[in-house]
Amino acid sequence: MKHLKYLVVGVCIAIWIPLTHAAQPQAMTGMTAAVSSPAAVVKEGVDQLVGFLVAGGAENPQQVMAFLETNIAPYFDFQYMSQWAVGSRYRFLSPAERAGIQKQLRDDFLGSLARNLAGYRHGRAEYAPARGNLRNGPAVVNLQAYQTGAYPMRLEFRLYRARDGWRVFDVAMNGQSAALYYRNFFRNYFYRQRAQSQQAWQPYTPGRR
């Protein structure tokens, strides 16, 4: 959880900074059809969030969460993120279990983001040109975020092109991936679940305490 906290703090710092350089799937409500490149997707999402924060939206936690759900969540493919995080076990899960894992990942990510939005100040960011497969993905948009009194943070947004546009499927801070964090989280979850199940069904052995 400490890893995720630092990652989310990094994302918060990045999205608090106004953009200075332009740098399967679910419906992308809140995204415009004109967005046609990975850098443009990042810019559109950042601009929406910056406008919300500058207007004082972060002062109300419920309002923050509602804004993230409506305007920021559509930029992410949480279904893809949850499928990758669970790995090979995903194909054995029921539709209800898949939906539950996706909801848990989505709620945890957006909840962490909402809790860490307050208290950040304007800084500056340097954006590198998007790289990778800029036609269909995966593509990467990198930025370097600066704040007074803090070390620069290197953030990396990874996107792929769905039928209805570009979607973010991972964010990394200084090389540490949110998707990888959730893969380790769910791996440990299933390991504990299996261990508890084996312990519950282990037959009684005479003389065993």
| pLDDT tens digits for range 58-75 | 777 788 888 889 998 999
- Tell me if 209 is assigned to some domain: no
- Tell me if 147 is assigned to some domain: yes
- The tokens describing 157, both together, are 């947004």
Beta bridge partners of 145: 125, 153
In this structure, are residues 182 and 83 in contact, taking their beta carbons and an 8 Å threshold? no
- Tell me if 128 is assigned to some domain: yes
The closest alpha carbon to 171, from 187, 188, 155, belongs to 155
In this structure, are residues 15 and 49 in contact, taking their beta carbons and an 8 Å threshold? yes
Residues with Cβ within 8 Å of residue 127, at least 6 apart in sequence: 19, 20, 21, 22, 23, 39, 141, 142, 143
Residue 50 has pLDDT above 60, yes or no: yes
Lowest-pLDDT choice from 51-55, 106-110, 115-119, 184-188: 115-119
Quote the pTM value: 0.72
- Tell me if 205 is assigned to some domain: no
- For residue 166, what is the domain's CATH number? 3.10.450.710
d(CA 98, CA 78): 11
Per the structure, the complete domain to which residue 127 belongs is given by 2-21+34-193
- The tokens describing 99, both together, are 């939906």
Q: State which H helix or E strand residue 63 sits in.
A: helix 61-67
Q: What is the structure's pLDDT at 117?
A: 67
Between residues 137 and 122, the one the model is more confident about: 137
Residue 204 has pLDDT above 90, yes or no: no
Please count the structural domains in the chain.
Answer: 1
- Tell me if 137 is assigned to some domain: yes
Could you tell me where the beta strands, DSSP code E, fall in the chain? 124-127, 131-132, 139-146, 153-162, 165-173, 176-177
d(CA 130, CA 159): 10
Q: What is the structure's pLDDT at 53?
A: 75
